[in-house]
Amino acid sequence: MPRLSTLAYALFSLLICASFVRGHDHHDELSEEESNKPTDSILWIHILLQAAVWGVLFPVGMVLGITRSRWHVPLQSVGFLLTAGGYILGHSHGGRQFLPSAHGVFASVLFAPIAIQFVLGVYLKLHIHEASIRPWAVRLHGIVGKAYPILGWTQMLFGAMAYRGYCRGGHLEQCLAHYIMGSGFIAYGVIIAILFLVGEAWVRRTGRSPEWWDSWTIMLWGIVNTFTEHRGSTWSVKDMQHTLVFFFGWAGGLLGILLARNNKRNVVPGIILILTGWGMSEHAQHLMLSTKVHAIFGYTLMLAGVTRIIEVCFFSSPSKAAVEIVEDDNTSDHTLAEPSPRFPNPSRYVASDDSDKSVAGKAFRHLPSFLLVASGILFMSGTDEELEFVHKNEMDHVTYILIMFSIAFILYAHIVYLIHLYATTGRNAPSKEERERNNGIPMTPRNKWYSRVPNADSGVGGEPLHVVGEDDEEDA
């Protein structure tokens, strides 16, 4: 414990000191020479380091925290140290200068969740106040930890805006619309991927089908945006289009909620995606390049809606074996993923089988998720300032769109990897016996990277005496 305390105080002190470091000041006004200076190596290191920490290291650490992996604390500690160093580098670079921005303000704001998460992590390692304060600290630690990917994504977007000088003056509203809604499509794709790949236990505990959650999100999002898309006293064609896209969204969301009663699945969210995509594909823009990018975004979103409907209609019914095993379960349609190692009880979930339909369904469920992520990336890349920059550099729409799809592939690969980590690490790591049973071949001793953390109910060697399941308190 002395070694842990020393490390804790050292890292926390470094974070506090870093928040007061200022290598240079941002200027309220910049000359053309200052804004056009080349980016020096220190700033590049800052960009790459913070992107790696907030985009990769912290999300991986978050997943390892959820599964209670023994590598959660070391990984997050390294992340704290690196992000403090990145903060210092961000205020120590020379060369190109930047105007004050949300990126700089949010960098200081981020020290609040970092400090909260760090202090709570140290407190939980002490294992004190087990019956009073600790349960609440566990919950708060989990909430703050799960917010890290959202905080990191937001800060990286702010950083891109600051670097290019986007979203200022009259461009702010359009910027917010594209970046917020594009991020929303990506989040939608992430949630669908989680539900389809590892989320059946949670879905069944809630007693709600995926479309019930989809429809509520679409309806609430539509209500808010119906009253925010028009400003001023005159209505333009674009104002009408934007407003009606969200109006039919909340109207359709209401229908989807009604049809999703009793854990029933429906195609309404898919229809809404198709209509939204069609509207955006016909959304004329000032530049031909912009019109084509918006059209591809619309087609991609339409395809996401089509694949969502196909998944519901053709890949959601249970196999005969599944019906026989779950014959006492008449409260659902048996629509989601196979049982996970964490929730193996066959009395609740669809049995995993090797039928052609089952294999095809598992593969097909990646399509709606990936297409939603790609739609979000395309929509975020469609602001006037971005496309004017592309146009001035004489890049055609094909090259630009392929770059965006490449980014979508990389991002979705990262999402799937994090989901894989959740299913295979910490308390969710399959035992040697489970792996032998699944593969049908002799297995070598369990790799130390996937060993479970011993707890109060563990037997010799850290093997659990019970299946860690839905009644456990700690989730991070």
Per-residue pLDDT of the chain (476 residues; tens, 9 = 90+): 445 445 554 555 555 555 544 444 555 565 555 666 777 888 899 999 999 999 999 999 999 999 999 999 899 999 999 998 888 888 777 777 778 889 989 988 998 999 999 899 889 888 899 889 999 999 999 999 999 999 999 999 999 998 888 888 878 888 888 898 899 999 999 999 998 888 877 777 777 888 898 899 888 888 877 766 656 667 677 667 777 777 788 889 999 999 988 788 899 999 999 998 998 888 777 788 888 999 999 999 999 999 999 988 887 654 444 444 443 333 333 445 334 444 444 444 444 445 566 677 778 889 999 999 999 999 999 888 999 999 999 899 999 999 999 999 999 999 999 999 998 998 888 776 666 665 554 444 443 333 333 444 444 444 443 333 344 444 44
Show Cβ contacts of residue 149 under 8 Å, excluding neighbours closer than 6 positions.
Answer: 58, 59, 62
How far CA 168 is from CA of 97, 172, 251, 367, 392, in Å, comes to 16, 5, 34, 36, 19
Nearest alpha carbon to residue 373 among 194, 210, 188:
188
Positive/negative CA dihedral, 417, 422, 427, 432: negative
- Its pTM stands at 0.79
8 A C-beta contact, residue 156 and residue 51: yes
Where exactly are the structural domains of the chain? 1-24+37-165, 172-436+447-454+468-476
Pairwise CA distance, residues 216 & 329, whole Å: 26
8 A C-beta contact, residue 90 and residue 79: no
How far CA 235 is from CA of 239, 241, 258, 439, in Å, comes to 6, 10, 33, 63
Pairwise CA distance, residues 297 & 292, whole Å: 9
Amino acid at 204: R
